Amino acid sequence: MSSKGSMVLAYSGGLDTSCILVWLKEKGYDVIAYLANIGQKEDFQEPGAKKVFIEDVSREFVEFIWLAIRSSTLYEDRYLLGTSLARPCIACKQVEVAQREGAKYVYHGTTGKGNDQVRFELTCYSLGRNDLMEYSKQRGIPIPATPKNPWSMDENLMHISYEAGILENPKNQAPPGLYTKTQDPAKAPNIPDILEIEFRKGVPMKVTNVKDSATLQTTLELFMYLNKVEGKHGVGIVIVENRFIGMKSRVIYGAPAGTILYRADLDTKAFTVDREAHKIKQSLGSKFTELVYTGCCPECESVRRCIAKSQERVEGKVQVSVLKGQVYILGRESPLSLYNEELVSRNPIDATGFININSLRLKEYHCLQSKVTAK
């Protein structure tokens, strides 16, 4: 069979891409496997492609994560967008490989739930997952998903997601042994870890563990350390979302480091950003979350610049305790804090004039209501 041309496949080693790789070879394509190392636990074994490129984009990815932390991105008040943030890193490097190798096509594989169908083009998912498992069995394709444990996992530095199989039914509890990035909170240690996190312009710059004085100051290592500590305490497990195409989906996410940084960053903002400026930033953060989730790019640059401006005063240290899946803020300090202890401690009588002025509207309203009732 003559070759139909070269194709760069974004290969994850999961059920979908493992089967797609073999299927594309059977159809006559020269498949170049592109594996993006974005912090997942992976042995990156040879997938049997014509060529294999393994690109470590962890440090590039962590810069995307800082954008999310500064923007307080939280989709539907729960999801820290771990998958959405990783896609631009993967896609950029994949296109670079395709251009360098002169490939005609690029190819992606997802579980077909909606979000990445929009972000990545799919043409091979019509087989369905049960048929894919049978296909992989017939051709001896090693895959992590099995008929007994048929859920799909997508891991990166930011988080890991679990979906499909028995997880499709939202009333089913997560099966024992599901979690790999986070400990089951019930099995987490009974003694908390106390961490001090230092921010500068909204970006985490330093983490110190009060218990053993361990200190991390480089971005990637800092994030990896938080994943380890917070994961041990079961921090960062969230469930369920509305997909971009409109369907509801039961997905379990584990995002330990992102969760604690989100909480600590919010606390720093509360003491260093003006109230009204913070309201505007919240609105921009919601818009940025939407843009990241849906994969829309043109507007992102403008929104990011505005958010960056709002973060110039976000500087300080936050001390947090992590225990049994929870994050507790213990204290904070900042050289740029707007908190004035002297002002807060003043005699309550100082507020009398302020209260009288603000009560005028209520007094007039009730006076008018009394007249109307009397008539």
Which of the residues are catalytic? 16, 87, 116, 152
Residues facing residue 322 across a β-bridge: 193, 327
Tokens of 18: 């493992």
Instruction: For residue 250, give the nearest of 173, 164, 153 by alpha carbon.
Output: 164
Identify the burial level of 37 via C-beta atoms within 10 angstroms of its C-beta, where 0-12 means exposed, 13-18 middle and 19 or more buried. middle
Instruction: For residue 202, give the nearest of 63, 59, 341, 330 by alpha carbon.
Output: 63
SS3 at position 37: strand
Q: What are the CA-CA distances from residue 224 to residues 36, 54, 63, 211, 221 (Å)?
A: 17, 20, 13, 18, 5
Q: How many CB atoms lie within 10 A of CB 147?
A: 11
Q: What are the CA-CA distances from residue 281 to residues 59, 73, 230, 286 (Å)?
A: 26, 11, 27, 9
